[in-house]
A = this chain, B = another copy of it.
Amino acid sequence: MIDVVMQRLAAMGVDLPVPPQPMGSYVPVIEAGSMLFVSMQGPLVNGRPAHIGLLGHALSVEQGRDAAKCAAINALAQIHRHLGGFTRIRQIIRLDGYVACTDEFLSHPQVIDGASDLLAAAFEDRAGHVRSLCGVRNLPGNIPVGVAICAELLPAASQQPPADTFPD
Contacts and interface: CB of A to CB of B under 8 A. Distances in A.
A91 B24 contact: no
B24 A113 contact: yes
A12 interface: no
B139 A137 contact: no
A146 interface: yes
Contacts of A25: 113, 116-117, 119-120, 127
A100 B103 CA distance: 10
A85 interface: no
Counting chain B CB atoms within 10 Å of each CB, the highest count among A35, A38, A95, A132 belongs to A132
Interface in A25-66: 25-30, 32-35, 37-40
A81 interface: no
Contacts of A116: 24-26
A140 B148 contact: no
Interface stretch (A3-11, A104-112, A156-164): A104-112
Interface in A88-147: 90-91, 93-96, 98, 100-103, 105-110, 112-113, 116-117, 119-120, 127-142, 146
Given A32-B93, A113-B25, A117-B25, A39 B132 contact: yes
Given A32-B34, A128-B30, A140 B109 contact: yes
Contact of A146 (B101, B128, B132): B132
Interface of A: 22-30, 32-35, 37-40, 90-91, 93-96, 98, 100-103, 105-110, 112-113, 116-117, 119-120, 127-142, 146, 148, 152
